[in-house]
Amino acid sequence: MSRHQAYRNYDYENDINEYDGDGDGYSDEGEELSPEDRAQMDAGTDEIRASLGSESSKVTTQQIQEALWHYYYDVDKSIAYLISKFIAPPSKKKEPVPSPDDVVLAAQSQAGSKKPAAGTSKKKADSGTKKGDVTDRVKDLKIDDTPLPKSKNLDVLKEFEKANSKKSASFVVVGHVDAGKSTLMGRLLLDLHVVDQRTIQKYRKEAASIGKSSFALAWVLDQRSEERSRGVTIDIATNRFETDTTLFTILDAPGHRDFIPNMIAGASQADFAILVVDATTGAFEAGLKGQTREHALLLRSMGVSRIIVAVNKLDTVGWSQARFDEISQQVSGFLSATGFQLKNVSFVPLSGLHGDNIVARSRDEAADWYSGKTLVEELEGSEPMARALHKPLRLTISEAYRSTQSPLTVSGRIDSGSLQAGDALLVQPSGEKAYVKSLELDHQPVDWAVAGQNVIIHLSNIDPIHVRVGDIICDTKQPIACIDTFTVKALAFDILMPMQVDVHRGRLHAAGQITEISALLDKVKGTVAKKKPKIVKPASVARIVVKMGTKVPLEAGQRVVLRSGGDTVAAGLLE
Ligand code: GTP
Ligand code: MG
């Protein structure tokens, strides 16, 4: 049984005994299938074997059926996946087998990207352990050593209090593949007039010409040609909008399980989340076994506590209140079993495609039964996380590029502390110093910025070769240390034992190994339940030691996700 299946089969509401660890493969999963599903599965398997012809021997029935399950029995999508993963390219055969996450990250760096529309930005993923294309792009540029602006020596925290500026909040949009996340965000931006009707009409035309007309709204977020032709989100898209009280940053995440590392990067920058579930018959149920559940677990492990559940596509079930109630009840059940407090969870029935209950209330008579808040009202009622204003400066770089203001401009969300023009900064892991030439918030020049804000920094006196996406910018006097071994209090998503893992923190991604399981912990009290267990079972909490191949900037209080073979195996807090 693959890890992914083990994880999917595990029922967090019930006991550990539910976990099927006997390794006997897909047949157990088969028992969960309804007769109709079973029939579709068998027919789909035969069709794929016939289409693949002689190549068919390169994939197992289990791999075929996992693909069919994942793509809702869509034979074409399953074949495309199986070919890309197991059959082509043949030249890979002799090389050491890269991890699935490496495959995804490599594919992304090759993927061409269209020029983003105004206000939309799509970041290229970059492995933290490799010199990515960012450094390639900028390494031949010369260092900016123009005289620095004099620091105004502002008391930034006082300025922040005085400014009484709008709240700023970032939210990540997560959920199973095709739940309608990008369409919902496209609709939100259209109805708030951030995107105009003409752009959408243009997208409708272009999308129709490649047989994807239902994705026109999603194209507001899905800007890459590969995303558009495949009809799936691959990487996080960011976009901004404001209401009377708040400046919001949207982080639209991919739902496909192959792109979980990008979802992790998005979730690491978020104050709260919108979990989109597809109310269509069968789709909700499939999502619950897939990324609806995995994303919720990841959010929880990464410290996100507020969730707005968007019960989407209600148009497909005639705005059935019974369906909305049934879904709300089931999602509440598993969210509370995952550790969310239900007072922080709310549900909105909506249709992203048609625009009901997003900015304006639904005008469909069948939706009359709902008199609660719209999605925008729920967003406005969501408090950003407490800002760590008084802690030392930490900012994770999410983009690095050349701009008209500087050979090296970086952007990212300030995790803690504050900064101002003229400040000296340290970039880790390179340990190189740089200076803040100028700053921008929301494309406006500013003198300072504080924790929680997404800032653009024009740097000087640093060679761009020392700066990569995923690096941390910090205070020169209280810098973050670079370490290669750490202890983490982790929730196991799968069986843990001494094994190879990929360590993910935001965009950063490094190869490592679980070297020791120090203790199994009591989930409620946090006390040691058993010292040095041989393995950790799914849903248990344990203290484990991880050693990485390289030194990476990490410190206590940060959250990391451990993945292996393309599946999330654990996540937790650095001690
Ligand atoms: P990934 O990012 O790839 O995980 O997908 P997504 O969750 O962003 O879904 P996307 O917005 O790409 O939409 C997937 C499909 O669902 C498209 O064909 C949409 O037209 C359709 N869809 C989205 N919202 C609705 C809705 O409210 N009603 C109906 N009927 N279809 C919808
Ligand atoms: Mg999407």
The residue whose CA is least distant from atom 14 of ligand 1 is 178
72 lines ligand 1 (CB under 6 A): no
Task: DSSP letter for 498, please.
Answer: S
Residues 539-565, mean pLDDT to the nearest whole number: 93
| Residue 7 scores a pLDDT above 70 | no
Strand-pair partners of 169: 248
- Please report which ligand is nearest the Cα atom of 211: 1
**Could you report the per-residue pLDDT of 187-241, keeping only the tens digit for each?**
999 999 999 999 999 999 999 999 999 999 999 999 988 999 999 999 999 999 9
Element (H, E) at 43: helix 35-52
335 lines ligand 1 (CB under 6 A): no
pLDDT level of residue 167 (50, 70, 90 thresholds): confident
| Residue 178 scores a pLDDT above 80 | yes
More confident residue, 5 or 413: 413
The burial of 150, by beta-carbon neighbours within 10 Å (0-12 exposed, 13-18 middle, 19 or more buried), is given as exposed
**Could you report the per-residue pLDDT of 349-358, keeping only the tens digit for each?**
999 999 999 9
218 lines ligand 1 (CB under 6 A): yes
- Please report which ligand is nearest the Cα atom of 276: 1
255 lines ligand 1 (CB under 6 A): yes
262 lines ligand 1 (CB under 6 A): no
Please tell me the distance between residue 166's alpha carbon and the centre of ligand 1 in angstroms. 32
Instruction: Give dist(CA 239, CA 256) in Å, integer.
Output: 20
Of 12-21, 62-71, 187-196, 241-250, minimum mean pLDDT range: 12-21
233 lines ligand 1 (CB under 6 A): yes
| Residue 425 scores a pLDDT above 70 | yes
128 lines ligand 1 (CB under 6 A): no
Q: What is the pLDDT of residue 102?
A: 60
What share of the chain in percent tops pLDDT 90? 58
| φ, ψ at 426 (rounded to 5°) | -120, 135
Instruction: Give dist(CA 89, CA 398) in Å, integer.
Output: 31
The residue whose CA is least distant from atom 23 of ligand 1 is 180
**Nearest CA-CA partner of 179 in 32, 69, 67, 290:** 290
Q: How far is CA 140 from CA 146, 403, 551, in A?
A: 18, 15, 25
| Residue 8 scores a pLDDT above 70 | no
| Residue 145 scores a pLDDT above 80 | no
The residue whose CA is least distant from atom 26 of ligand 1 is 313
Please tell me the distance between residue 226's alpha carbon and the centre of ligand 2 in angstroms. 12
Burial code of 272-307, b = ≥16 C-beta within 10 A, e = fewer? bbbbbbbbbeebbbbbbbbbbbbbbbbbbbbebbbb
The pTM of the full predicted model, rounded to 2 decimals, is: 0.74
Tokens 């196991």, located at residue? 492
180 lines ligand 1 (CB under 6 A): yes
Of 56-65, 114-123, 270-279, minimum mean pLDDT range: 114-123
Q: What is the pLDDT of residue 147?
A: 60
Cis bond leading into 384, ω under 30°? no
What share of the chain in percent tops pLDDT 70? 83
